[in-house]
Chains A and B, each alone.
Chain A
Amino acid sequence: MKNRRIGLIALVVLAVALVGGTLFTIDETEQGIVIQFGKYVRTVNEPGLHMKLPFIQEVTTYDKRLLRYDAAPAEFLTRDKKALVVDIYARYRIVDPLKFYQTLRDLARAHARLDAIISSSLREAVASHDQSDIITEKREPIMAEVARETRTRSEEFGVRIVDVRIKRTDFPREIAESIYARMRAERGRISKRYRSEGAEEQLKIKAQTDKERTIILAEARRRSEEIRGKGDSEAIRIYAAALRQDSEFYAFLKSLDLYKTALKEGSKVVLSADSSLFQYLETPRPGQP
């Protein structure tokens, strides 16, 4: 009874071990290679349930998904000798698990190798471009170039680099303050320009205004002088029309008016006794011419 039971248990254990050693699953996210005593037998790409020889064959699985390599931010020197901190990441996948198995074995080693390839390629690319290009427009082509180069160099590991991207470019921390100083100076310049533009416009408007004002007043003065002139000429015409009747009498009357107004109180007048006023003063007889 007891022996039979032990035998049964042993049989079950053996069966489980046999099944466990024969069947293996490959997940959607995986790919595997079957190895027999260290010798490559086949690659298993299809997800699902698979069989192998128990005990003598073993399976090594690798990730089939798009993998990520994130480099630590590093300082590079551009062609114009400016330092730039570049933080990149790469996306790659294992396309040939056999090659990968033969050359790298695991992801840690793969990342070490990718690090070397990508950073040397990136260093070269950065060194052959100016800082402003890397920051701005040419970032994409530069990275495409880096991706292309690293792709060919990583093919021998069974790895295909899909993408190398600059996540960040930063100025080195030491020069941040000088960047800020430059930004402040630039803003200061713009502020000044705005204020000066204001002053310019103000002066223009004021000058234009003053000019217009002067013209308006001068024009008014001109026209008012014209009007005054017309008044004067009209007056002259009127006077002339009247005086033409007897200019001598007018002169006489006007002279009399003049004496009245011109000779003020306290004026001294010297008169000759010969004056007709005084014709009776010394010789009171009529008929003085």
Chain B
Amino acid sequence: MAFNEPGQSPWDKRGNAPNMEDFLNQLQQRFGGHFRRFNVWLLAAAALVAWGLTGIYIVNPDEQAVVRTFGRMTRTSPPGIHYHVPWPVERVNVVKVAQIRSMELGFRTIMEGPPARVREFPLESLMITGDENLVNIQVVVQYRISDLPAYLFRVWDPTGNPEGRTLRDAAETALRGVAGSMTIDDILTIGRARVQDETKVHLQQLMDSYGTGLFITEVKLQAVEPPEPVQAAFKDVVSAKEDRERIINEARSYREDLLPKARGGAEQMLRAAEGYRESRVREAQGDSARFLAMLQEYRQAKTVTRRRLFLETMAEVLSKVDTVVISRSVAGKALPLLPLGETGTTPLPTPQGEPGRQAQTPRAGGSQ
């Protein structure tokens, strides 16, 4: 390759061996025998310099380098500009060790976005839970290189680095192991942090036991959801839960509505009763006051007053009712016509004598 570098002619772009020969021949023809030897040495020296220059390498601040001399690791290089004896004596690997890298499990981001476009990998994300349900879990594993020589030389991986298949295998193993030890309800609700933590611990153990030189900084759950065919059923559980709360709230509002009203009604009843009590007492007081007042006057002239009251009442009563008077001579033969009116007939007492039977209890008489 180094032979290409000094040449500026258009031929060197083709760059393969026969063309190189042509190129040299043409050079020789053009410059003639005198220059031939000189040119060969010049080219050889240029090639040597170019070869030597390939040993320069720069290590950026976030990088670290490992140098192998004849395949054996001889030194690591801190950030800065360095030199190694070029291939095939020494080889250098410069790797970004400070960088936090991430691996997606169960999905791949196609476009960063926003909006991000993501392709799902159901085969990776669908897993069995401890209660033999299926759940979709997508995670992002974040990691960095903690041991560069181990990262480079200890683990074989089809992609070249342990972060290829090795990390993915182990992450799947760890995540599925954790999912298999939990119920689907835990995973979907309160157990997310536990999934993350346990997966991280388990994954780190695997990384250490394989000697990958990787340090897992974080395992982050992305989507955690039931598989598509059963999502409706899971959503229904959520809405059932809400329904439960709603129904209970309705019942509570029924309670809130009813009890104050009942208390109000009770209060109303009590007040009514108190009103009744007061009115009864006052009525009695009024009645008795009236009676006492009348009694006082009555005592002045008992017989006359009594007769007057009786006759006044009779006058009032008899003026509005139909009255049949039966003489003693026909009394025995008359057909009893009772009862005649709605309220019946009442034998009237003689004003001097005992009051009629029904009149003995005044209140009872009123109710008949």
Contacts and interface: CB of A to CB of B under 8 A. Distances in A.
Contacts of B258: 209-210, 213
A8 B165 CA distance: 52
B262 A67 contact: no
Indicate the size class of the contact surface on chain B: 35 or more
B244 A194 contact: yes
Contacts of B132: 131-132, 135, 179
Contacts of A180: 134, 227, 229-230
A205 B254 contact: yes
B201 to A, nearest CB: 13
Contacts, number: 372
B314 to A, nearest CB: 6
Contacts of A89: 169, 173
Contact of B71 (A27, A186, A194): A27
Contacts of A274: 328, 331
Interface residues of A, number: 119
A232 B266 contact: no
B318 A25 contact: no
Interface string B151-195: 011111110000001100110110011001100000000000000
B24 interface: no
A238 B281 contact: yes
Interface in B336-368: 337-338, 340-343, 345-346, 348-352, 355-356, 359-360, 362, 365-366, 368
Given A188-B236, A242-B288, A202 B262 contact: no
Classify the secondary structure of A's interface with B: helix
A235 B280 contact: yes
B276 to A, nearest CB: 5
Given A168-B172, A256-B313, A269-B322, A217 B266 contact: yes
A193 B153 CA distance: 57
Given A169-B176, A267-B340, A269-B324, A67 B210 contact: no
B284 A238 contact: yes
Given A162-B209, A194-B237, A266-B322, A255 B180 contact: no
B152 A212 contact: no
A231 B281 contact: yes
Nearest to B362: A254
Contact of B321 (A190, A236, A267): A267
A69 B352 CA distance: 133
Given A234-B281, A265-B321, A253 B240 contact: no
A203 B251 CA distance: 8
A190 B240 contact: yes
Given A29-B153, A167-B173, A136 B350 contact: no
Contact of A254 (B128, B158, B359): B359
B325 A281 contact: yes
A251 B355 contact: yes
A231 B271 CA distance: 13
Contacts of A179: 132-134
Interface string B261-293: 011011101101110111111011101110110
A181 to B, nearest CB: 9
A26 interface: yes
A140 B180 CA distance: 11
B321 A227 contact: no
Given A27-B68, A260-B313, A267-B342, 17 more contacts: A49-B72, A67-B156, A180-B227, A183-B233, A187-B233, A187-B237, A194-B244, A198-B247, A228-B277, A235-B284, A238-B285, A251-B360, A257-B362, A265-B321, A267-B340, A271-B323, A273-B326
14 contacts: A68-B156, A68-B157, A170-B128, A180-B134, A180-B230, A205-B251, A230-B277, A260-B313, A262-B365, A263-B341, A269-B318, A270-B345, A274-B328, A281-B325
Interface of B: 68-73, 88, 126-128, 130, 132-134, 149, 152-158, 165-166, 169-170, 172-173, 176-177, 180-181, 206, 209-211, 226-227, 229-230, 233-234, 236-237, 239-241, 243-248, 250-252, 254-255, 258-259, 262-263, 265-267, 269-270, 272-274, 276-281, 283-285, 287-289, 291-292, 294-295, 298-299, 306, 309-311, 313-314, 316-318, 320-328, 331, 337-338, 340-343, 345-346, 348-352, 355-356, 359-360, 362, 365-366, 368
Interface of A: 25-30, 46-49, 63, 65-68, 70, 89, 91, 131-132, 135-137, 139-140, 162-163, 165-171, 176-177, 179-180, 183-184, 186-188, 190-195, 197-199, 201-206, 208-210, 212-213, 216-217, 219-221, 223-228, 230-232, 234-236, 238-239, 241-243, 245-246, 249-278, 281-282
